[in-house]
């Protein structure tokens, strides 16, 4: 898919303030610092559309971007940010849960996982929760540039084995890097395919 236009629309903490759900929508979620905002920039081919930071906890709101005037990409705040207070964590989960459950135009939630880490309980809990709610999801292993080919193969296999303990079948699975742009084409093709399938149903 060719990205002709990518613009920021709105940033907010309430689902009722999100843009009208008139376009298909794809959201990015995962632990703080995993590279959600960077991946959005990589997909749209802009350096600074979504704000990124070396400090975890940069994105704190639901951020909508409109792509090709036809679909939304959504950058969400990360979970598992250690220095966030208990109260903030509760607010985070309320906001995100409402968004994920109620957003009717949400086509797929991409859960980002750091390729350098072994599967974390927080991630697996979250994946289970989404699966339980039947919210369509796909997985993305980020920062693949930080690993050698062998290390990456090992990491992919570790994630896949762990996931197959939860599910009989793997959800769509991608490997990405904001440095090398790995995974960009695959992710954009997948998004295009999901929208095409949705068109056929409508």
- Which spans of this chain sit near Mg ion (rule: CB under 5 A)? 36-37, 58-59
The entry of Mg ion, ligand GTP, none that residue 69 binds, CB within 5 to 8 Å by partner kind: none
Beta-carbon contacts of residue 150 (< 8 Å; ≥ 6 apart)? none
Distance, in Å, from the CA atom of 144 to the CA atom of 17, rounded to the nearest integer, reads 35
Helices and strands (H and E) in the chain: how many: 5, 7
Closest CB 154 distance from ligand GTP, rounded Å = 18
State the number of CA atoms in the 13 A half-sphere of 151 facing the CB: 12
Query: With respect to ligand GTP, which residue has the nearer C-beta, 36 or 64?
Result: 36
Beta-carbon contacts of residue 16 (< 8 Å; ≥ 6 apart)? none
Interface residues with ligand GTP (CB under 6 A)? 32-38, 52-54, 56-59, 77-78, 142-143, 145-146, 177-179
User: For residue 73, what are its two tokens?
Assistant: 């990409």
Closest CB 184 distance from ligand GTP, rounded Å = 11
The entry of Mg ion, ligand GTP, none that residue 107 binds, CB within 5 to 8 Å by partner kind: none
Q: Which residue is nearest to Mg ion, using beta carbons?
A: 59
The entry of Mg ion, ligand GTP, none that residue 200 binds, CB within 5 to 8 Å by partner kind: none
Distance, in Å, from the CA atom of 151 to the CA atom of 115, rounded to the nearest integer, reads 9
Closest CB 20 distance from ligand GTP, rounded Å = 25
- For every residue of 116-134, DSSP letters joined together read TSPPPHHHHHHHHHHHHTT
Query: With respect to ligand GTP, which residue has the nearer C-beta, 53 or 94?
Result: 53
Closest CB 110 distance from ligand GTP, rounded Å = 11
CB distance 179 to 145 below 8 Å = yes
Query: With respect to ligand GTP, which residue has the nearer C-beta, 96 or 163?
Result: 96
């Amino acid at each position: 898919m060719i990205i002709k236009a990518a613009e920021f629309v709105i940033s907010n903490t309430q689902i009722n303030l999100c843009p009208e759900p008139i376009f298909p929508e794809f959201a990015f979620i995962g632990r703080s610092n995993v590279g959600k905002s960077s991946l959005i920039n990589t997909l749209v081919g802009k350096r600074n559309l979504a704000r990124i930071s070396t400090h975890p906890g940069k994105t704190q709101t639901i951020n909508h971007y409109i792509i090709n005037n036809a679909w939304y990409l959504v950058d969400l705040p990360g979970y598992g940010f250690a220095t966030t207070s208990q109260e903030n964590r509760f607010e985070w989960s309320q906001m995100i849960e409402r968004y994920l459950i109620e957003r009717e135009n949400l086509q797929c939630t991409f859960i980002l996982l750091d390729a350098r880490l072994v599967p974390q309980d927080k991630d697996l809990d979250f994946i289970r929760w989404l699966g339980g709610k039947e919210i369509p999801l796909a997985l993305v292993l980020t920062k693949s540039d930080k690993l050698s080919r062998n290390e990456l193969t090992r990491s992919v296999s570790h994630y896949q084995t762990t996931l197959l303990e939860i599910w009989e079948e793997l959800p769509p699975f991608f490997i990405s890097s904001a440095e090398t742009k790995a995974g960009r084409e695959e992710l954009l093709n997948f998004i295009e395919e999901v929208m095409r399938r949705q068109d056929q149903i409508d």
